[in-house]
Amino acid sequence: MPVLELNNISKRFGNLLANENISLALDAGEIVALLGENGAGKTTLMNILFGHYSADEGWIKVNGEILPNHTEAAINAGIGMVHQHFTLADNLSVMENIVLGTESLFAWRQDRAKASKRLENLSHEFGLEIDAQKQVSELTVGERQRVEILKAIYRDVKILILDEPTAVLTPQETEKLFSSLKDLSKKGLTIIFITHKLHEILSVTDRVAVLRRGKLVGEVLTKEADKNILSEMMVGHKVSYPSKKNQQYGDIVVELDNISTVGEKGESSVQLHNITLQVRSHQILGIVGVSGNGQLQLARLLSGMIQHNSGTMNLFGNTIEKNSPLSMIRQGVARIPEDRHTEGIVGEMKLWENLIGERLSLNQMTHFGCCIDKKSAIQHSEQLIDDFDIRCSGTNAQANLLSGGNIQKLILARTLTQNPGFIVANQPVRGLDEGSIAYVQTQLMDARNRGAGILLISTDIDELLTMCDDLMVMCDGYISKVFKAESKSISEIGLMMAGQLGTDNTSIN
Amino acid sequence: MQLEVRTNTPFWLVLFAPLFAMIVALSLCSVLIIWADAPVFTAYGALLNGGLGSRFAIMETLSRSIPLIFTGLAVAVAFRSKFYNIGCEGQLYCGALAAVYIGSGMITLPPIAMIPLLMLCGVIAGGLLLIVPVLLKTHLKVDEVVTTLLLNFIVLLMVSYLIEGPMKDPASLGWPQTASIIDEGVFPPLFEKSRVHLGLIFALIAAVITWIVMRFTTFGYASRAVGLNLQASNFFGIPVNMTIIKVSLISGGLAGLAGVSEVAGLKGYLTLDLSPGFGYTGIVVAMLAQLNPIGVVISAFFISVVYVGADSMSRVLNIPAYLADVIVGVSVLCVLVSVMFTQYRLRFK
Amino acid sequence: MEILELLLTTGFWAATIRIVSPLILATLGELICERAGVLNLGIEGIMTMGAMCGWMWVYQGGDLWTGVLFAFFIGAVFGFIHSCFTVYAGLSQHVTGIGITLFAASLSYYAYRLLLPSATTPPKIVPFENYAIPFLAEIPVFGEALFNQTPLTYFALLLVPIVWYVLYRTPAGLAVRMAGECPVAVEAQGINVLRVRTFAVMIGSGFMAVGGAFLTMSAFDAFYFGMINGRGWIAVALVIFASWKPGKALFGAFIFAGLEALQVRVQQFSGDVIPYQFFLMLPYIMSIVAMIIVARKARYPRALLVPFRKGERI
């Protein structure tokens, strides 16, 4: 009898069919990959299993019994989930995060001694060492993931779901995670591993289930699969990614010399230390690093959102004293923010209003310098919607009702149409489906071929290796020297991501 | 049962949402009328009659709606940028104070200059009062709700001190009130034998101007964007803090105008009971109007009907006039829900 | 010199403790709500409601303690209304709170007028009487002040450690704090965030109402219009000043009450030199100052003001 059985699950969000008649069965001790591109419905399916969403049709059985649709039932049935975005409270201790919900809410006291003993035993048993008294905000991303896994194990899970667990890890940490997972499965745990990265599947799983556009398109044993078969199953059609042709670099567009930032008091984010880099015309410079190592600050600096307090910053040969979003826009810097929804668009505003946001700041598309020239704004927007193939109901569509890929196209349309000399792109393809990824990458590559210098930040090494001419690694706010994308192996880059930057100003081992 | 985002909102729904809210509010409050042992329909009939039933009633209602239009606009402008100015009451008194200070003999000009001067002073005084809360918000991230609320109490005590002390009218026979505004500064009545004064015209003009500014200018765009998404607005290059400061000054100025029009148009002098909570009622007016400046005019009139009508209803049927305040309070909550249904729909499974 | 002597009198300390009681009840109530992620600006109205209900209960022949319970219950009902809007429907906490305040305050005036239509001078009840705790009340100055108070004051002061214990040492308190920091985590651990928040808002609102009832049943013996007089807003400021910690809230409330008790006495000395209005302004000005002092380092509960909607993409 299978441990877990999903039968004919369907789920609809408005007009979008996120899951369609999905059936899947898992045995004890198996590691099964749920493979599919972004937006294929993997996370939705797992959220149904975990009780966050309710399925429109179908049922789930755990150990032969129907699973009622709420989180509590899923947890009681022994299902644990490690979300892609961690569900941990930063201001609370590791212990508090783990024991939440394991005791009756009506109990008059917590048995802290018992809890910490149990936690200690578990972390020894599975090699997941952690200081339980620390605040979560003090932990690294890898440690936080360990807490998430411990949270599940602490509750005696039988089935563990991991949603894109490697996205935030260095290659070495990934290896360690995989060996932990193998240990867990030997003890009888069933593991579902959600991913869109092919090589991970081949190294750790027993079986692969592939989702495409909400449907289960196939199941194969890992030992009978290879990258090409899986890739074709996952995407379904051929996607043409941009190819990189070497070009002669042009003039320097951006130059940072020994730049440091200081955050506001009490701000916990990593600050920049002695950053030196330059980007030239016709060059894509990639910034590698585990998420949260200062890349965001670097992108925000180049977007005009924060100030540097020492060092010099040159843009197209001019030194920037007072940094601001407006001055960056004025100088023709195209900025693609990491968080599309919170920085890229004003979701409740209309499409055309979002498309002219930066133009209005430049006092373009206005009458008498104070009134919006709606007619030309609409015309301009219609043009952009056409040019960049933004799928929407028209210029009056509300921006947050667009899909992720279309929001990203909106942002590209807004920025690239100005023919920028410099582009700073922070995680431009994160969370997009393969078609949109190819589109965004092609647009960026075209801009580079037209002469723009691009700073591309990503946590996905593969993406950077295919897109970039040169790479730099960031760790804890420090940056490495620049090197050619082909000159180092992945494991070398992984060591750099973990702190061995090979420069003198890094104090960390 | 769950909420689902609407992909498009039919126009009639936006239009009727506040109306539905009022109907629900009135039906809920009918419980209170029943509690008072009064017949519900007769009571609401008396309310309507008291607010709209005669020339006198309509004139009273119109004159009551003047300050409400101003404070409603003040709130609408501020709330659009998610600047929660709950201090209109204090700004109203500041405006009134400035008008009385300048207008009770300090300067004498012909009415054509005197009236604008008083209004300008009111705008400045009302706006200035918001400087502290807005700077605390933009620079220190201190919540403006609490600071503006607390300032109401401080301003009222200040007014109490001034009208008992330095600004007390020696001719007032011991009553704590200021000297009257000189004749040149008084807003002339619009209709004979009524209390409706020139302030109504100013209020309507203010509403139209506010509407134009909010709808057609880049400043209107910026102030809306700031309210909807602060981070993205900053990213777009909108000067976020400056926009909020400007918004707050406009909001305070509009509330100050309410005070000017009350002293210069109605009372003539300043006392502590100048405003029976116009500042707070302005919140309800603005919410009912869904923050639309033109809607503010309509909802201010509507709320005035409730207040003026409730007074006469309480005389006729012995229901405490506080019913009007309850209706107004309940309608804020109802309008919140009805506006939600313009953005979401219920989905049953 | 006179002021220093004043600080050593029993009268001053007794007055301070009397003033602190309603303030600490309201502040703890607001603190519980905000710890769960809900800003409750209905506080001013809920306190008015509590003041009216508790008083009316006793005036209609009820017993004092059941009056307190009744006030708590009514407060919790308004808390429930608040959470229906802010927690379940996820509507603006600012606007809902103001709406609740307008509604609850006017409703209590309406009810008061309806039940006592002809009362020209506010009728009185027999309020809580002082209860001197044996021995302790004989300690000079401070003991005489602290241990010769009404039972409701003892309750208010005892509530501080109780709230601290519940928040920091029980599973339910952990769930409340977590709901205010990271509601997704609470949901992921199988606890219903909406219920936790609703529960916290109801309890918190109940305490606010008791704070209001203290005024009519312990500090005074009648219900006046406008008697809350901004105490609710001051409590909101105090919560920020206290960095959302019960102990610090008590400390903050004591500073406030002490200064207020002091100003009443200084006022008597100062004669007409300083107008009395300026003394009355002090608590409001101090509230603003208190918020400015902590502004830079205020660590808001992360999820304060953020509605949680289940089923939204995580």
Q: Count CB neighbours of A453 within 10 A.
A: 26
For residue A101, give how far its alpha carbon lies from the nearest alpha carbon of chain C (Å). 6
Asked if pLDDT for residue A17 goes beyond 60, the answer is yes
pLDDT digit string, tens, across residues B295-346:
999 999 999 999 999 989 988 888 898 999 999 999 999 999 998 888 887 7
First to last CA, chain B: 6
Q: How many domains does chain B have?
A: 1
Measured between beta carbons, the chain A residues lying within 8 angstroms of B225 are: 346, 349, 353, 357
Give the pLDDT confidence score for residue C38 in this predicted structure.
Answer: 96
Give the pLDDT confidence score for residue C314 in this predicted structure.
Answer: 35
Give the phi and the psi of residue B273 in degrees, each rounded to 5: -105, 30
* CB hemisphere CA count around B276 (13 angstroms): 11
Question: What band does A507 get if pLDDT is binned at 50, 70 and 90?
Answer: very low
Choice between A456 and A223, residue whose per-residue pLDDT is larger: A456
**Contact call for C85 and B283, based on CB within 8 A:** no
- Cα–Cα separations (whole angstroms), residue B29 to B331, C107, C220: 10, 10, 31
Highest-confidence segment of A185-189, A305-309, B254-258: B254-258
Do residues C44 and C233 make contact, with C-beta atoms less than 8 angstroms apart?
A: yes
Give the pLDDT confidence score for residue A321 in this predicted structure.
Answer: 86
A306: nearest Cα among A295, A314, A298: A298
For residue A52, give how far its alpha carbon lies from the nearest alpha carbon of chain B (Å). 13
For residue B316, give how far its alpha carbon lies from the nearest alpha carbon of chain C (Å). 14
pLDDT digit string, tens, across residues B157-174:
999 999 988 888 888 777
Residue C105 domain boundaries? 2-114+143-295
For residue A41, give how far its alpha carbon lies from the nearest alpha carbon of chain B (Å). 19
Average pLDDT estimate for B205-230: 95
Average pLDDT estimate for B80-98: 95
Q: Count CB neighbours of A133 within 10 A.
A: 10
Q: How far apart are alpha carbons A295 and A472 in whole angstroms? A: 11
Q: How far apart are alpha carbons C261 and C3 in whole angstroms? A: 12
**Contact call for B7 and A401, based on CB within 8 A:** yes
pLDDT digit string, tens, across residues A88-105:
998 899 999 999 988 888
Q: Is A268 on the interface with C (CB under 8 A)?
A: no
To the nearest whole number, what is the mean pLDDT of chain C? 90
CATH code where residue B269 lies: 1.10.3470
The alpha helices in chain C, defined as continuous H runs, are 2-7, 10-35, 43-59, 64-83, 93-115, 142-146, 151-169, 171-181, 183-188, 193-214, 231-241, 246-270, 276-295
A411: nearest Cα among A438, A434, A433, A443: A443
Question: Does residue C284 lie in a domain region?
Answer: yes
Q: Is B231 on the interface with A (CB under 8 A)?
A: yes
Do residues C149 and C18 make contact, with C-beta atoms less than 8 angstroms apart?
A: yes
Q: How far apart are alpha carbons A488 and A220 in whole angstroms? A: 34
For residue A497, give how far its alpha carbon lies from the nearest alpha carbon of chain B (Å). 29
C99: nearest Cα among A210, B191, B288, A232: B288
The domains of chain A, with CATH numbers, are 4-235 (3.40.50.300), 241-332+420-509 (3.40.50.300), 344-419 (no CATH)
pLDDT digit string, tens, across residues A424-464:
999 999 888 888 899 999 999 999 999 999 999 998 888 89
From the list B217, B229, B231, which residue is nearest A370 (CB)? B217
pLDDT digit string, tens, across residues C170-184:
999 999 999 999 998
Choice between A278 and C265, residue whose per-residue pLDDT is larger: A278
In terms of CA atoms, which chain B residue is nearest residue C44? B149
* Residue found under tokens 């079986």: A207
Q: Is C92 on the interface with B (CB under 8 A)?
A: yes
- Cα–Cα separations (whole angstroms), residue A354 to A380, A414, B240: 12, 8, 16
Q: How far apart are alpha carbons A420 and A406 in whole angstroms? A: 21
ipTM over 0.90: yes
Residue C19's SS3 state is helix
Go through chain C and tell me how many residues it has. Answer: 314
From the list C89, C106, C292, which residue is nearest B326 (CB)? C106
Give the pLDDT confidence score for residue A244 in this predicted structure.
Answer: 83
Asked if pLDDT for residue A265 goes beyond 70, the answer is no
Chains with at least 3 CB pairs less than 8 angstroms from chain A? B, C
Residue B335 domain boundaries? 2-347
Q: Count CB neighbours of A257 within 10 A.
A: 15
User: Which of B218, B246, B345 is best to mutate for the A interface (most A CBs within 10 A)?
Assistant: B218
Average pLDDT estimate for C119-124: 82
Give the bridge partners for A472, in sequence order: A287
From the list C102, C233, C278, which residue is nearest B325 (CB)? C102
Q: How far apart are alpha carbons C112 and C95 in whole angstroms? A: 26
Average pLDDT estimate for A397-419: 89
Give the pLDDT confidence score for residue C133 in this predicted structure.
Answer: 85
Give the phi and the psi of residue A367 in degrees, each rounded to 5: -100, 140
**Contact call for C188 and A110, based on CB within 8 A:** no
Measured between beta carbons, the chain C residues lying within 8 angstroms of B330 are: 103
B263: nearest Cα among B51, B84, B115, B41: B115
CATH code where residue C225 lies: 1.10.3470
Q: Is A100 on the interface with C (CB under 8 A)?
A: yes
Residue A261's SS3 state is coil
| CA angle in degrees (0–180, nearest 5) for C38-C43-C44 | 150
For residue C125, give how far its alpha carbon lies from the nearest alpha carbon of chain A (Å). 38
**Contact call for A372 and B4, based on CB within 8 A:** no
Chains with at least 3 CB pairs less than 8 angstroms from chain C? A, B
Question: Does residue C282 lie in a domain region?
Answer: yes
Q: Which of residues 8-47 of C touch B (CB under 8 A)?
A: 41
Asked if pLDDT for residue A247 goes beyond 50, the answer is yes
To the nearest whole number, what is the mean pLDDT of chain A? 88
Give the range among A330-339, A361-370, B64-73, C94-103 with minimum mean pLDDT: A361-370
**Contact call for A335 and B235, based on CB within 8 A:** yes
* List of residues 6+ apart from C285 with CB closer than 8 A: B150, B154
Q: How many domains does chain C have?
A: 1
3-state secondary structure A417-485: CCCCCEEEEECCCCCCCHHHHHHHHHHHHHHHHCCCEEEEECCCHHHHHHHCCEEEEEECCEECCCEEH
For residues C16, C22, C27, C30, the Cα torsion angle rounded to the nearest 10 degrees is -170
CA C59 to chain centroid: 23
Give the pLDDT confidence score for residue A266 in this predicted structure.
Answer: 52
For residue B58, give how far its alpha carbon lies from the nearest alpha carbon of chain C (Å). 25
| CA angle in degrees (0–180, nearest 5) for A327-A330-A336 | 85
Average pLDDT estimate for B79-98: 95
**Contact call for B225 and A372, based on CB within 8 A:** no
Give the pLDDT confidence score for residue C244 in this predicted structure.
Answer: 94
Asked if pLDDT for residue A505 goes beyond 90, the answer is no
Give the range among B244-253, C57-66, C68-77, C262-271 with minimum mean pLDDT: C262-271
- Looking at chain C, the whole-number percentage of residues with pLDDT higher than 90 is 63
Question: Does residue C305 lie in a domain region?
Answer: no
Measured between beta carbons, the chain A residues lying within 8 angstroms of C189 are: 75, 100-102, 151
Q: Is B1 on the interface with A (CB under 8 A)?
A: no
pTM listed for this prediction: 0.92
Q: How far apart are alpha carbons A177 and A142 in whole angstroms? A: 9
DSSP secondary structure code for residue C37 in this structure: T
**Contact call for B333 and C85, based on CB within 8 A:** yes
pLDDT digit string, tens, across residues C181-227:
999 899 888 899 999 999 999 999 999 999 999 999 999 899 998 89
Q: How far apart are alpha carbons B271 and B263 in whole angstroms? A: 9
**Token representation of residue B63:** 């004159």
pLDDT digit string, tens, across residues A461-485:
888 998 999 999 999 899 999 999 8
Measured between beta carbons, the chain A residues lying within 8 angstroms of C175 are: 100-101, 105
Do residues B176 and B163 make contact, with C-beta atoms less than 8 angstroms apart?
A: yes
Q: How far apart are alpha carbons C157 and C145 in whole angstroms? A: 13
Question: What band does A486 get if pLDDT is binned at 50, 70 and 90?
Answer: confident
- Looking at chain A, the whole-number percentage of residues with pLDDT higher than 70 is 98
Choice between A142 and A158, residue whose per-residue pLDDT is larger: A158
